[in-house]
Structure 1
Amino acid sequence: MMNQFIEFCTNHWEMVAVFVAILITLLFMERNNGAASLTSSAATTLINNENAVLLDIRPEKEFKTGHITDSINVPATKIKDSLNRLEKHKDAPIIVVCKTGMTAGASAKDLKKAGFSKIYKLQGGIAEWQASNLPLVKK
């Protein structure tokens, strides 16, 4: 098996080089996203032990279909305009939640730039939360 892998890499070094370059770029971009990812269980622990604040950045319509208890809804497009609303939570851990975990990084980066220190993003977003059979509330 390993011999076949080495042979493939040798015969297709251009493809392997492109793959490695893409992988390094993705890792670099993820590192610079501004926030560490948390699994649903790690987020639950942070909420229970450190009173983490949940910031749901989905549009209001999606938020109303189901969200994590005590979440604050500030759509991603309005984060910069709503920083004063979040100011009282500046020193608390903040978990940024989106639909699938793909867009939370940009909002987390904006919060870091604004001086928020403990920013995390929910890995997999609300979709992963639901897949873990964790509760959502509707209001």
Structure 2
Amino acid sequence: MPQFKTIPPQEALKLIKEHPEFTIIDIRPQEDFEDEHLPGAQNLDYDGHQFQKKVEKLDKEKEYVIYCKSGVRGEYFMDKMRESGFKKAYNIQGGFVGWKIKKLPLVSD
């Protein structure tokens, strides 16, 4: 059964720890991603060229945790995933900023 939901950062961390098979997608610009991101995240720049083509390459059967800077674009992106036939995605409430405020784990390149 498809499931799409915005969840608090702490709940997202718990989901990620309990389900290592989840794919974590950072939709912020690549420069921001390179500065700091969630452990295990991959970058899919929402504003970048060829964004729709990148999304189409994603496996619709997999489960995703997505985040942007503040949570707004993540919500929009999650809706697009639902419309495109994806099965499960979670948007992090407050995005990267919300995650960082809670002092949850981050990776710097």
Point out the structure with the larger helix share.
1
The answer to whether residue 11 in structure 2 is matched with residue 39 in structure 1 is: no
CA distance in 2, matches of 1:48, 1:63: 21
Give the match for residue 70 of structure 2: 100
Give the match for residue 11 of structure 1: none
Give RMSD over aligned pairs.
1.7
**Over residues 37-74 of structure 1, what are the superposed CA-to-partner deviations in whole Å (9 max), with x where a residue is unaligned?**
11111111111112221111001011111000110100
Contact 1:35-1:105 at 8 Å conserved across structures = no
Give the match for residue 113 of structure 1: 83
**Over residues 25-47 of structure 1, what are the superposed CA-to-partner deviations in whole Å (9 max), with x where a residue is unaligned?**
xxxxxxxxx93111111111111
Identical columns (%): 26
**Over residues 93-126 of structure 1, what are the superposed CA-to-partner deviations in whole Å (9 max), with x where a residue is unaligned?**
2111000111111111111122111111000111
Point out the structure with the larger strand share.
2
Match for 1:72: what amino acid?
A: Q
Q: Quote how far apart the aligned CAs of 1:84 are.
A: 4.1
Aligned pairs, number: 104
TM-score (ref. length: structure 1) = 0.68
CA distance in 2, matches of 1:54, 1:79: 16
CA distance in 2, matches of 1:98, 1:116: 18
Query: Which structure would you say has the larger Rg?
Result: 1
Residue pairs, 1:1-139, within 5 angstroms: 35-51=4-20, 52-77=22-47, 78-87=50-59, 90-139=60-109
Unaligned runs of 5+ in 1: 1-33
Contact 1:80-1:110 at 8 Å conserved across structures = no
Q: Structure 1 stretches (4+) deviating beyond 4 angstroms?
A: none
TM-score (ref. length: structure 2) = 0.85
Higher relative contact order (CA 8 A, sep 6+): 2
